[in-house]
Structure 1
């Protein structure tokens, strides 16, 4: 049964959280003290990863810290306005790495890319159908939770089509954690670490007027994307606009490192703080089937990455990140932190997001009816 969408902003696991009655553990602490705790834990988890040379350590450390605080009873959540800001900054960051051959990359390899995208969507939909067949989850919830698209977009669409947004949030963000962790390990042990930025370089000056102008343009483009209900519009619309301006030489985008560090940290918290006890209890029956489907999907994506390596001759990490089943923002950060072909990765990831958004509602109804 189709419902009218009730939200225009991106939904995070926090916003889909059931009401928690009696705080326990960390949840008994004042909110400011919980934020201090997650901040201290973020430092404790990020520094060792940075020293070890892991890509995207500034994302993974805060994500781990957020999970620890959430599972210990924490009640704090990242406000939506901050998540919106993170998406805009990440869009501008990735746009600085896109050259004029972005569309050319798709034009030259569109048939192979289309095959890869359709294959990932097909396997993820089949996984959702199999979970639905077990009776552990309702049909549409299982399908949307398994969909290989941007997690926030899938939750908006799932709620609009009558699925349980809490379970979809759990399934989507659990996959994000698995994919981000695997991609980080592959990048590190595969010798694809990017050049680490020393802390003293975080505060190197950048031209402020162009920065303020570009951030203003990005925010307006993000708001427009949300207003027009573009899938992941807060990310894709600023990204598309900034990529065109940057690759054409119209605008030279320069983002300060401190702003990127803050954005990576906030995104890690947004993911990690969604794994509350309430959601885990709500989704406990679906945990094992969900983990199994994630492992199958990641393994299948690895096979597709092998196909890209054989056919196109690209490096393994570029192929793996390009075929990884979400999330778009975390994959973008890992790609930006590694020596890879960012344009190829973003082309394939964006194509999959657009296609799964177009086909998602029809696939969810079709497979749910047969489950």
Structure 2
């Protein structure tokens, strides 16, 4: 009796037509993003497409996001960061600047130490470990990391895993102080009426900010160029910005695809091997920030939930949603500390990454 013929090897995606690869990537991205939305996890429109792209990239997909698309996505996120910084945040910061500065520096020191610890034990390269551990806007950290020699794929893996863990923990802890079961969040308006002045200003800032960033040879020029120009015009001259949900969604998808499609099976195996160190560092940073929150609450009489949300290491947008669900939380304090930390990381992150990398080599 003849033995059955061996099963043919699974067909890899490089044998598929380019149009079919894009179609499959889009469908799987929608499924992943939808599942994350149903689970109420943050950054679904970015993490879902990135996970779909990782699956595609590790299975031989040949499609890639055009450089112009990736640049445009970065510039739009830069406008988002610029528009989220309000003058009221600076007023709150000035009222409590010693406290804010101390908390931010302590958090950056702790995250840098954890990055050093991971890289010292050969979990990840030094620069990658530092940017992956940096507590700031996850998307901003990923975009900055690539300009300073870090592996964007592994940084994204670390950052978005922390976003999910921190956001879930913040939501659970919030329930200890706030009953959010009856809170109904306003549904996202995907196609709002366009304020052509604000929308035109946003597009102009994205285009010219990215161009000026390249001209000035900034690291991550499209992102930082839009952040700097947008902040100057928005804060200094009161220029309004409008970022419709559909534009943000497109930008998130392009960034997620651009990062995920560069994953290979080897990179994915390396990330999984480093998972215990990554999860351990995230839990350690969460515990450290929780300790800072207890200290702030005890010393200054700030309610525990406000202190915890203000020091929570990441997931700024989801933290803002949780904070807004309670009238007892000082939202301006939360956003001021979160924004201050993001600005500190943007300003000093490159220097910290280079310093820690030298320590690891030495």
State the TM bucket, normalised to the shorter chain. 0.7 to 0.9
Distance in 2 between residues matched to 1:315 and 1:230, nearest whole Å: 40
Alignment of 1:1-371 (within 5 A): 25-51=12-38, 53-135=40-122, 146=133, 150-157=141-148, 159=149, 165=150, 168-186=151-169, 189=172, 190=174, 191=180, 195-198=185-188, 201-208=189-196, 210-230=198-218, 232-247=220-235, 250-281=238-269, 286-308=274-296, 311=300, 313=302, 316=305, 319-320=308-309, 323-324=312-313, 331=315, 333-334=317-318, 339=324, 341=332, 342-369=335-362
Q: Distance in 2 between matches of 1:271 and 1:319?
A: 31
TM-score, normalisation: structure 2: 0.73
Q: Structure 1 CA distance, aligned partners of 2:184 and 2:232?
A: 25
Cα 1:271–1:35 change in 2 (3 A) is same
Larger radius of gyration: 2
TM-score in terms of structure 1 length: 0.72
1:323 and 1:349 in contact (8 A); partners too? no
* Preserved contact between residue 120 and residue 301 of structure 1 (Cα < 8 Å): yes
Q: Is the 8 A contact 2:82 2:227 kept in 1?
A: yes
Q: 1:76 to 1:337 in 2, by over 3 A?
A: farther
Structure 1, 290-299 or 173-182: larger mean CA deviation: 290-299
Does structure 1 retain, via aligned residues, the 8 Å contact 2:127–2:356? Answer: no
C-alpha deviations, 1:1-24, integer Å up to 9, x for none?
A: xxxxxxxxxxxxxxxxxxxxxx96
Of the structure 1 ranges 50-59 and 250-259, higher mean CA displacement relative to structure 2 is found in 50-59
CA distance in 2: counterparts of 1:304 and 1:24, whole angstroms: 52
Structure 1 unmatched ranges of 5 or more: 1-22, 160-164, 326-330
Contact 2:202 2:243 in 1 (8 A): no
Question: What is the CA distance between 1:206 and its match in structure 2?
Answer: 0.5
- CA 213–129 in structure 1, closer or farther in 2 if over 3 Å, else same: closer
Alpha-carbon distance in 1 for matches of 2:126, 2:39: 43
CA distance 1:51–1:123, change in 2 (3 Å): closer
Of residues 343-352 and 312-321 in structure 1, the stretch that sits farther from structure 2 once superposed is 312-321
Relative contact order, CA 8 A, sep 6+: which one is greater? 1
- In the alignment, the residues of structure 1 paired with residue 302 and residue 343 of structure 2 have an alpha-carbon distance, to the nearest angstrom, of 21
For the aligned residue pairs, the C-alpha RMSD in angstroms reads 3.7
Distance change (3 Å), C-alpha of 1:75 and 1:282:
farther
Structure 2 gaps of 5+ residues are 1-9, 175-179, 325-330
Report if aligned partners of 1:298, 1:324 keep a CA contact under 8 Å in 2. yes
- Cα 1:244–1:224 shift into 2, 3 Å: closer
Q: Verify the 8 A CA contact 2:157 2:271 in the aligned structure 1.
A: no
Change (3 A) 1:367 1:57: closer
- Distance between the aligned counterparts of 1:99 and 1:143, measured in 2? 28
